[in-house]
A and B are shown apart, each in its own frame.
Chain A
């Protein structure tokens, strides 16, 4: 059931918010011991919020489509009175006094909060093999990673523990778990969703966004969380539109960019054939598939890595006296960042401005780009390398190479599932659009979804 279907059922009194929350909690109790998607489950609070949601609906107060819908948030969003760990020893006992902006907005929209989701330590990695709270497991195959850093969010949505989850994306951390778990994941434009109250990884790369069961569900969540927030210095004043695509929306005559360079290099063959199949589907739906050369994305990735290393180490520096509190992979990255000179960071930010201009010119040729989200399907837990195109590649660098650059540009990108690989694990495409064009990429995603692009329900989710 999607958010829209659940919302309809609530208003038709076929189900209550209390029943939805109880069903979600029952699924969490049954499946979370294997998946380890949650760090904290707030069942008692959720029951009370659901009672309140039912009472409001009965009294004629309708907060909109998220009213009474069970959701959860990555454990880096501050939650008043509920521990917020950031998947780290550093914050193990941190109980915030206030909610993050995103949490405030979800609550204002009537969503029922089921708890806090496991993640890669400090959001600094893509495996979600958390050394302090245990590894999150992929609901399609428990031996595989769910991706990260929002791994708990991806696993919880794919296994239908919640209807939607909040994640954050600094170098692919929403889109990667969405692709690996077979969920929809939206990284909005930088500045569209407030970062206030989300523990930072890298200030100029962090984006907040939803993971959901369908494109329209992701749009419903974006409707609730988007908009200016003066507490976030990067928050945009641009007006918020209704992001939910119409039923029967069309992509006829839209120019869909098919990258001729970079994005199809060194792919798993199953990923490549699945993604190329999406272009055929788009063409059959009336889109104009337009081959296009993209600017130097490898350079963009190098710039992104310098910015990330420097900003993340700056954020974490006060805690680095306690090295024993960090897992080895995160500590290595934090040490690397400490060694970069300030000149490299400044020059990376100069290159970023230059590359944003270069990329901007692309939008005169095409309305969006479609590319694989990741070159591979989810690796096994513990794998350090992945073999792609006849070469072994570091798992983190391979998994982020098609997504990281878009964080540097701040552009919106939507990952949707498009197929299953030879091992039965999900494959995702990302739809990348010009700045502030979330409504456009959501429309393209919804039209593709309506047109049959997608995957079956995750087996873990098929059981009631």
Chain B
């Protein structure tokens, strides 16, 4: 489990505890949903990002 409050502080976010909670709690919930998905990825799956060199005529 990631310590988002510690990560925030280490990233230079100087926030009070209530503000840190507002940042950390949703990230905690997102992490719980996201991490199992990542763990099932296989190396052949490439990212759906848009880089491509211009083709003729562009």
- A contact set with B: CB distance below 8 Å: 204, 230, 233-234, 298-299, 302-303, 305-306, 332, 335-336, 338-340, 344, 346-354, 356
Contacts and interface: CB of A to CB of B under 8 A. Distances in A.
B14 to A, nearest CB: 10
B49 to A, nearest CB: 5
Interface of B: 4, 7-8, 11, 13, 15, 19, 22-23, 26-27, 30, 33-34, 37-38, 41, 45-50, 58
20 contacts: A204-B48, A230-B58, A233-B50, A234-B50, A299-B33, A299-B37, A306-B34, A332-B23, A335-B13, A336-B23, A339-B8, A339-B11, A339-B27, A344-B34, A344-B38, A347-B41, A352-B47, A352-B48, A353-B45, A354-B41
A100 B26 CA distance: 34
A343 to B, nearest CB: 8
Given A339-B4, A339-B8, A339-B27, A348 B34 contact: yes
Interface of A is mostly: helix
A302 B33 contact: yes
Contacts of A204: 48-50
Contact of B47 (A234, A332, A339, A353): A353
A234 B50 CA distance: 7
A351 B13 contact: no
A302 B13 contact: no
Closest 4 CB pairs of A and B: A349-B47, A302-B33, A353-B48, A352-B48
Contacts of B19: 332
B8 A303 contact: no
B45 A354 contact: yes
A211 to B, nearest CB: 27
A233 B38 CA distance: 28
B46 A303 contact: no
B23 A351 contact: no
Contact of A339 (B23, B34, B49): B23
B4 A351 contact: no
B42 to A, nearest CB: 9
Contacts of B8: 335, 339
B30 A349 contact: no
B3 to A, nearest CB: 11
B47 A303 contact: no
Contact of B38 (A336, A347, A352): A347
Nearest to A344: B34
Contacts of A351: 37-38, 41, 45
Nearest to B20: A335
Contact of A349 (B13, B23, B48): B48
B46 A350 contact: yes
Given A299-B33, A336-B27, A353 B58 contact: no
Given A230-B58, A349-B48, A352-B48, A302 B41 contact: no
